[in-house]
Chain A
Amino acid sequence: MIDAWVYIEHDSGEIEDVSLEIVGRLNEIKASLPLRITGFSFGRDPGEIPRKAISQGVEHFIFLRNDLFSFYDTQSYVNGIEGIVRERRPDIILLGATYQGRDLAGRLAARLKTGLAANAITLNIDEKGLLYTGVPGYGGRFIAEIVNMKARPQISTVRQGIFRKLPQDNSRSGEVENIEVKFGDFSPRLRVVERVRKDVKDITKSERVVIIGNGAGNNLKPIEDFARLIGADIGVTRPVADRGLAPRDIQVGSTGVSLNSKLVIIFGSSGSNHFVSGIERCKNVISIDVDRNSNIFNYSDYCVVADMFTILPYLNRRFGGQ
């Protein structure tokens, strides 16, 4: 039996989609391999987390309980999981490539003296339990297939929005273990003083996305109006997020998210590798850029060479705006 563990990341009980997407992929693999899928989380109180995870394809759940786990400190979490990993020796540990997942994975791999692949966009396992992860390099132009033949567990983080989670099915059952973690004399050296966060839209699942590129400058209003008129969500390129005009969560590209939309419309982007890797999976791509030589047109179905601020008023009027 190949023992694969998935970090079920949650924020006050709300499970990250990517954790369940990994579980979904493992269930596909399980169709042809003897695989046992274990989920694990940290927190004060398991609440509905184990049950939710099991309804989406986890077979066995380990909840690590301690009051310290109510905020995220890398060392507390690594110390919390280390013992049980050493004892049970899973073959594979997968984590979402979220801020937290990436922070945790690196340190955990170093602690366990094992390798780590990061940001995987393909996941395969062979009969011997060897994990093959496809990791995009150079902004997504190549995929390096990574293996670790030297040590266990094999650890990888997995990109968001790549795999599909299973439909929820409350008739699924699984074993749940609640483990009280004892720390001895460890106390966290990091303290969270303030937390500012808004609910952000997960645009990896949006049907329609309008992207604001750096060419928009600080004048986002006409593009936002346009997005509203066609019922699209907003995404941005990296420089727009860098300038603080939008949260990082809606940044598209190799250090942001990958879209899976039916339609994406891009205003003012030069189409660098790091960006276009995020729109590869979209069905229809339309771009508007003043520069006829903009590389974005090589990645577009419809190319409009125009100043966006000239064309947007016409467009918005045509779609029923003023």
Chain B
Amino acid sequence: MKNIIVCVKVVPKTEDVSFDPVTKTLDRSKAENQINEADKNAIEYALVLKEKYGGNVILLSMGPMFFEPFLKIGIAMGADDAILLSDRAFAGADSYPTALTLASAIKKIGDFDLILCGEESSDAGLGQVPSQVAEFLDLPQALFVSSVEIEGNKIKARRSVKGGYEIVELPLPSVISIELGINQPRFPDFKRKRWADKEFKIKVWNMKDLGLNENIVGLRGSYTFVNRFIETEPPKRLRRYIEGSPEEQAEKLYEVIKEIIE
């Protein structure tokens, strides 16, 4: 097995993002960041595949320099290498230029057998990048995958479909998106973490390194724009507490349910 490339994004924690009703913009400044959860599942899965079939696990991310320590967490989990695509011109990208930028970097890496993504990112949550990376690389794809087996130069992947799953066969290399929650990502290894923090150097590639230009990356390369943000009003709920002993609670609950149903 050659390299397994894992596309990793760093996202603010959902619960920490607030909405400014005056400016009508999102405030991410107080948010703690983390590796996108599905991407953690993808890293874990890549490491499992490496243990089984060999190869190197390379993390690939497009984002600002503050992503570096998060990629080092992935290194401490066991990934072999990490590349951060960072350039001012990349800012404001929607999924099209994001996928285009990632695909250019993947071509530059060149030597790979498998590309893993998470099923979707928890911030915008669009789940489009994997499909678009596959298109830009002209590779087959299987999305929402929960397991992969490699047999020679073919893979068998289990992908979710309505009401169940399909086992699909694809050639190597292919693009796979890993379903959120399919595994328990391992903890970073303590010693490896110390080594990663002190000595490991993340490769940083900019627009020029990828041979791209400012018209096709970032905001300018994007097709979709946010016209406005609307804060969703959670519906007003009664929030009435039903107290008492369990038996009394059950009795009151029975009355409430009866009344709603009838």
Q: CB within 8 Å of B: which residues of A?
A: 11, 16, 72-75, 78, 98-100, 102-103, 105-107, 109-111, 113-119, 132, 134-151, 189-200, 208, 230-231, 238-239, 241-242, 247-249, 254-255, 262-263, 265, 272-274, 276-277, 280-281, 284-286, 297-307, 310-311, 314-315, 318-319
Contacts and interface: CB of A to CB of B under 8 A. Distances in A.
Contact of A190 (B128, B169, B250): B169
B168 A151 contact: no
A297 B95 CA distance: 36
B231 interface: yes
Contacts of A196: 164-166
B182 to A, nearest CB: 7
A23 B170 CA distance: 34
Nearest to A16: B162
Tell me the dominant secondary structure on chain B's binding face: mixed
A117 B128 CA distance: 9
A13 to B, nearest CB: 14
A110 B156 CA distance: 25
B180 to A, nearest CB: 7
Tell me the dominant secondary structure on chain A's binding face: mixed
B238 interface: yes
B226 A145 contact: yes
B163 A198 contact: yes
B15 A272 contact: yes
A280 B235 contact: yes
A145 B126 contact: no
A75 B139 CA distance: 9
Given A142-B231, A284-B260, A195 B128 contact: no
A297 B141 contact: no
A302 B253 contact: yes
B224 A117 contact: yes
B167 interface: yes
Nearest to A188: B140
Contact of A255 (B95, B120, B161, B256): B120
Contacts of A103: 131, 141, 143-144
A305 B243 CA distance: 7
B26 A142 contact: yes
A102 B143 contact: yes
B162 A189 contact: no
